[in-house]
Copies of this chain bind each other. A is one copy, B any other.
Amino acid sequence: MSLPLFLVEALPAGQVGVLDGPEGHHGADVARLRPGEHLLLGDGRGGQARAVVTAAGRGRLELSIVERWYAGPPVPRLVVVQGLAKGDRAELAVQAMTEAGVDEIVPWPAQRSIVDWRGERAARGLARWRSVAREAAKQSRRPWLPEITEPAGTAALAPRVSLVLHGRAAARLSTVELPDAREIVLVVGPEGGVAPDELAAFTAAGAVPVRLGDTVLRTSTAGVAALAVLSARLGRW
């Protein structure tokens, strides 16, 4: 069986370390790891280590590092601009995209977004997306945590966008020419899709509309399906 992964702010600098806080609670009290058992530590920025438990207390594990390694940052970065969608659909999207290796997600309040992230709700929504992404990254054992940025609007995003998923696009994501750039930025609309003037704003700035097959994908499925196609094409998978 695979070793459990715990996320830490920084890997221990030397040969020994302590896991405490929420991850220590999870390891000592929930997973109930005992001396002699192995686990993985990750800092979410490429640094990983395998460690053995040397002592276990309430909410706290003492560790000895067995080996450590570093995974370089993925190139190109895969960035998804995700239209805000109703609660569980948005969280499913963030979860599945994180498992599928997204490097950055930008919450996008689109014209057809039904939820409203103004004021306090933005902070709550963002905290929720970050928490979902963090848990999914642990589950999927990613060496790099995806970045969940502050929300951004259409005009601010347009210069950065490379591709827009759109059901009536002429080009296909599976065959369209991909930008030879440090990042590929893909827009996924909310449940109601990308509005015509949003599409116009993105394409005026150079983005290409692309489609995934001929059926209609929910916003919680579209992003992960697009990441799968991109990852296969880029040789990441």
Contacts and interface: CB of A to CB of B under 8 A. Distances in A.
Given A220-B96, A225-B225, A225-B228, A215 B140 contact: yes
Interface string A4-16: 0000000000000
B99 A216 contact: yes
A160 interface: no
Interface stretch (A43-51, A118-126, A229-237): A229-237
Contact of A217 (B140, B213, B217, B226): B140
A205 to B, nearest CB: 25
B228 A139 contact: no
B99 A237 contact: no
A92 interface: yes
Interface residues of A, number: 36
Contacts of A139: 216, 218
A96 B229 contact: no
B92 A215 contact: no
Contacts of A217: 99-100, 140
Given A215-B101, A215-B140, A237-B213, A221 B96 contact: yes
